[in-house]
Amino acid sequence: MNFTERELWEIEDKLESALNSRAMARYIVDCVRERDEMEDALDEMYSEIRDIKDSLRRIDFAKVEIPSRPRESAVFR
């Protein structure tokens, strides 16, 4: 669940009153912001993974030619 900046400010104000500490309230809200950013990054990674999986599903591996391993040249013997 991502919070808007306004919601975070309201949460920070309520925490400040409850904890009687502006620094602790700000720390907690910063943790929530970081969590929201991490969730967004994870969502983006999952989307990229889904795109890759979809691409792999479209490949007909029966038609893919795998080159044979090149032989060593006489220079390296």
Mind listing the pLDDT tens digit of every residue in the chain (77 residues)? 788 999 999 999 999 999 889 899 999 999 999 999 999 999 999 999 999 999 988 888 777 777 777 766 656 65
The pTM of the full predicted model, rounded to 2 decimals, is: 0.58
- According to the model, what pLDDT value does residue 73 have? 61
Q: Which of 35, 29, 30 is nearest to 14 (CA)?
A: 29
User: Does a structural domain hold residue 53?
Assistant: yes
Cβ atoms < 10 Å from Cβ of 29: 20
User: Does a structural domain hold residue 40?
Assistant: yes
- What is the domain count for the chain? 1
User: Does a structural domain hold residue 67?
Assistant: no
User: Does a structural domain hold residue 49?
Assistant: yes
> Which stretches of 1-77 are DSSP H helices?
5-19, 22-58
Domain range for 19 is 5-59
Overall size of the chain counted in residues: 77
